Homo-oligomer: A and B are copies of this chain.
């Protein structure tokens, strides 16, 4: 079926295509009468302007790219939803790109998004080879980082104070009376994880405690991996009384490992997560965790991205948000 074009409505309305275009965009001067006439015809013909064509004329595509490690991970799917809602509200659509934290995927996706002339890219994924992003930042497409950071990058970024978040976790555990703690960390290449661990250690240090290198386990970021690592920790015996997990996935793994080993949470082992994903409300016991103000972060990021695309030369901002402790059921005083 032939789609109706601006020519069809121009002919039907007895005007030039320029007038139709002007009517649509509220540009130029058109007599009220003609405008109304044109709108009527558009309606009757069910005319839909082609954003493809108008994009080719240098207008926006009203499409945004969102790079995240994995949409099927609740933390990121929640981000995706927030982005989508804001975008939709502003007339944009969003192309979701799951990178699995693989640089090659990042690169491939970025190239794709460039070819499609997206109006901006929101990056919520880690990148090892920061060259990729630096190059991208040089180009014309506006980008912004969210919940991730690449050092010394000249791009806007909005993130949580991960160091503070780690400290918060430690302080909570400290206050409950724990002194022997362990941590499950994601792959040390993820900057946010590193910061969280640092913050955790620092708070311990301030309290006059130290954490043994042995008690900091590194693993991938899946439930399964968290479970494996936690199981190992438990098997070792002489276990800590509390476990800080750098994200909720790992914490859930830890919960499962404890359950299998017959270790009661929180009575025998307190577990604290990070991110406050929906998962943390679903476990039993429900997970104590550190929340990032994701909705606000997404809002800030989005606004920055969109306004940025208007005024090229704004100074790159780095907005840091405050994390918050959410106490639920997985932490308590250590058993004597």
Contacts and interface: CB of A to CB of B under 8 A. Distances in A.
Interface in A65-84: 70-74, 77-78, 80-81, 84
Nearest to A280: B282
A70 B81 contact: yes
A281 B252 CA distance: 10
Interface in A84-121: 84-85, 88, 93-98, 108-109, 111-117
A279 B61 CA distance: 37
A223 to B, nearest CB: 7
A90 to B, nearest CB: 12
Contacts of A55: 52
Interface in A1-60: 1, 3, 48-53, 55-56
Interface residues of A, number: 54
A81 B53 contact: no
Contacts of A187: none
Given A3-B140, A78-B72, A49 B282 contact: no
Interface string A127-146: 00000000000111000000
This protein's copies in its complex = 2
A52 B48 CA distance: 17
A183 interface: no
A281 B15 CA distance: 63
Contacts of A116: 51-52, 61-63, 93
A54 to B, nearest CB: 9
Given A95-B94, A96-B80, A279-B279, A114 B48 contact: yes
Given A48-B111, A255-B284, 5 more contacts: A50-B117, A72-B278, A84-B97, A93-B116, A223-B281
19 contacts: A1-B138, A1-B140, A3-B140, A51-B115, A63-B95, A72-B74, A72-B78, A72-B81, A74-B278, A77-B80, A80-B80, A84-B98, A94-B95, A94-B96, A223-B282, A278-B279, A279-B282, A282-B283, A284-B284
